[in-house]
C-alpha cells in the first residue's frame, strides 16, 4: 500500500496508488507548496525554473518516504496506507518552530 506523486507542470501534481488524483498547485504559491498525508508526513514541493519538481521531507510520519530522480523531476513514494493527501500553498500553511527546552534539574540525582 503506497502512493506515488510526480509534478505534471507548475499547476498540477499527479497522485497514484491508494489515492488517485490530480492536485492543483495553488496559483499564488510561486511554484512552492506543502503536501500533507494522513500518516503525518509533511512534504515541501518546489518547482524550479524549468518546471522540474523537487520534493523535500519536512516532517516524517508513520510511512517510509523515498524520493528518486526521474528525468529532471523528483518522484515521491510514500509506503504506507494513505487515506488522504492535501496540498496547501506555501503562504497558506504554518508549522510550529522547535524550541530547545532544558531538562529539569532533579535535586540529589547526581550528588
**0.95 surpassed by pTM:** no
The 10s digit of each residue's pLDDT in 23-60 is 998 887 777 899 999 999 999 999 888 888 999 999 99
Q: Given CA atoms 48, 76, 14, 90 in this order, what sign does their dihedral have?
A: negative
Grid look-up 506555501 returns 90
User: Which three three-digit cell numbers place residue 76?
Assistant: 515521491
The string over 50-84, giving b where at least 16 C-beta atoms fall within 10 Å of a residue's C-beta and e elsewhere, is: eeebbbeeeeebebebeeeeeeebbbbbbebebee
On the question of pLDDT at 66 being above 80, the answer is: yes
Bigger pLDDT: 6 or 106? Answer: 6
Predicted local distance difference test score (pLDDT) of residue 111: 55
DSSP letter (8 states) at residue 110: T
Confidence band for 80, pLDDT divided at 50, 70 and 90: very high
Q: Cα–Cα distance between 23 and 37 in angstroms, integer?
A: 13
Amino acid at each position: 500500500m503506497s502512493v506515488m506523486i510526480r509534478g505534471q507542470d507548475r499547476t498540477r501534481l499527479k497522485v497514484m496508488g491508494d489515492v488517485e488524483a490530480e492536485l492543483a498547485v495553488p496559483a499564488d504559491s510561486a511554484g512552492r507548496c506543502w503536501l500533507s498525508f494522513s500518516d503525518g508526513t509533511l512534504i515541501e514541493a518546489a518547482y524550479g525554473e524549468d518546471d522540474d519538481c523537487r520534493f523535500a521531507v519536512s516532517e516524517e510520519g508513520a510511512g517510509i518516504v523515498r524520493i528518486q530522480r526521474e528525468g529532471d523531476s523528483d518522484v515521491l513514494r510514500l509506503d504506507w496506507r494513505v487515506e488522504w493527501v492535501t496540498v496547501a500553498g506555501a503562504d497558506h500553511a504554518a508549522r510550529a518552530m522547535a524550541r530547545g527546552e532544558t531538562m529539569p534539574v532533579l535535586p540529589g540525582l547526581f550528588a
